[in-house]
């Protein structure tokens, strides 16, 4: 999910009412303590801020990581309204990085965080590639993905579409990329998928035209 990685750890600074964190985790029930640690396919470094939304205790809180050798320790942050460590209604967080949650703006409704604008990502699809992985979905957590996308290639060729994938969470997946909008020219881009354990890998293939393609997408997962 070829994204630009920020090399320096992101520090939380409210901007336009949003708190900024580097990463978000939606599956862990306790804070992970062993390094190296990857959250949303990004390796956690010291001073990284992470929003946790599934903790069995102290949920929906932001923690700062300290990585020392093979150990990760966490410091609870008080960044919400009123210098609180727990969110209240209309507290908002921007997630800066991650395979699935990069560029997400989420708001708290009093019970849980919801996605304000879904996930909008711009990505380069390289020329003359076969079955390049651009999205991985852990079907132990998410078994469905819906992606509205547009593809532009060269100066004149473009098309849009709706890509859907569903998995049984074990061995099989089905992909539907038939809901394509009328195209202008020929983009030479197609999508496929395959399972690797419980990971659903969505791939792209591009024809050889001498020009990369640019894809913008909005992703929903459940």
Same domain, 84 and 161: no
Mean pLDDT computed over 128-147? 80
10 in a structural domain: no
Q: What is the residue range of 73's domain? A: 18-117
- Among 91, 117, 143, the domain-final residue is 117
149 in a structural domain: yes
Residue 171 has pLDDT above 80, yes or no: no
pLDDT at 12: 35
Residue 218 has pLDDT above 60, yes or no: yes
146 in a structural domain: yes
CATH code of 168's domain: 2.60.40.1680
Query: Parallel, antiparallel, or unpaired: how do β-strands 49-52 and 92-95 relate?
Result: unpaired
Q: Please state, in angstroms and rounded to a whole number, the distance separating the CA atoms of residues 23 and 10.
A: 9
Q: Please state, in angstroms and rounded to a whole number, the distance separating the CA atoms of residues 17 and 11.
A: 15
Same domain, 111 and 127: no
Q: Please state, in angstroms and rounded to a whole number, the distance separating the CA atoms of residues 18 and 9.
A: 17
In the chain, the number of structural domains is 2
8 in a structural domain: no
- Among 71, 89, 117, the domain-final residue is 117
Same domain, 71 and 148: no
92 in a structural domain: yes
Residue 187 has pLDDT above 50, yes or no: yes
Mean pLDDT computed over 158-186? 76
Same domain, 128 and 216: yes
Mean pLDDT computed over 21-41? 93
Residue 214 has pLDDT above 70, yes or no: yes
Q: Please state, in angstroms and rounded to a whole number, the distance separating the CA atoms of residues 47 and 77.
A: 11
5 in a structural domain: no
Q: Could you tell me the pTM of the whole model?
A: 0.53
Same domain, 216 and 139: yes
pLDDT at 121: 61
């Amino acid at each position: 999910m070829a994204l630009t990685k920020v090399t320096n750890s992101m520090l939380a600074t409210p901007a336009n009412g949003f708190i900024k964190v580097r990463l978000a985790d939606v599956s862990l029930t306790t804070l992970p303590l062993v390094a190296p640690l990857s959250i949303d396919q990004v390796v956690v470094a010291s001073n990284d801020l992470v929003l946790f939304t599934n903790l069995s205790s102290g949920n929906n809180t932001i923690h700062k990581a300290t990585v020392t050798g093979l150990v990760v320790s966490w410091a609870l942050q008080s960044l919400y309204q009123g210098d609180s460590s727990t969110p209240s209604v209309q507290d908002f967080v921007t997630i800066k990085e991650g395979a699935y949650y990069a560029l997400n703006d989420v708001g708290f409704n009093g019970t849980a965080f919801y996605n304000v604008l879904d996930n909008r990502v711009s990505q380069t699809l390289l020329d003359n590639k076969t079955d390049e992985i651009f999205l991985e979905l852990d079907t132990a957590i998410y078994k469905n993905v819906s992606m509205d996308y547009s593809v532009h290639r060269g100066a004149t060729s473009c098309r849009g579409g709706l890509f859907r994938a569903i998995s049984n969470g074990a061995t099989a997946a089905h992909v539907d990329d038939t809901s394509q909008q009328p195209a202008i020219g020929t983009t030479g881009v197609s999508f496929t998928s395959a399972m690797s354990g419980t990971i659903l890998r969505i791939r792209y293939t591009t024809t050889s035209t001498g020009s990369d393609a640019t894809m913008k997408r909005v992703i929903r997962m459940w």
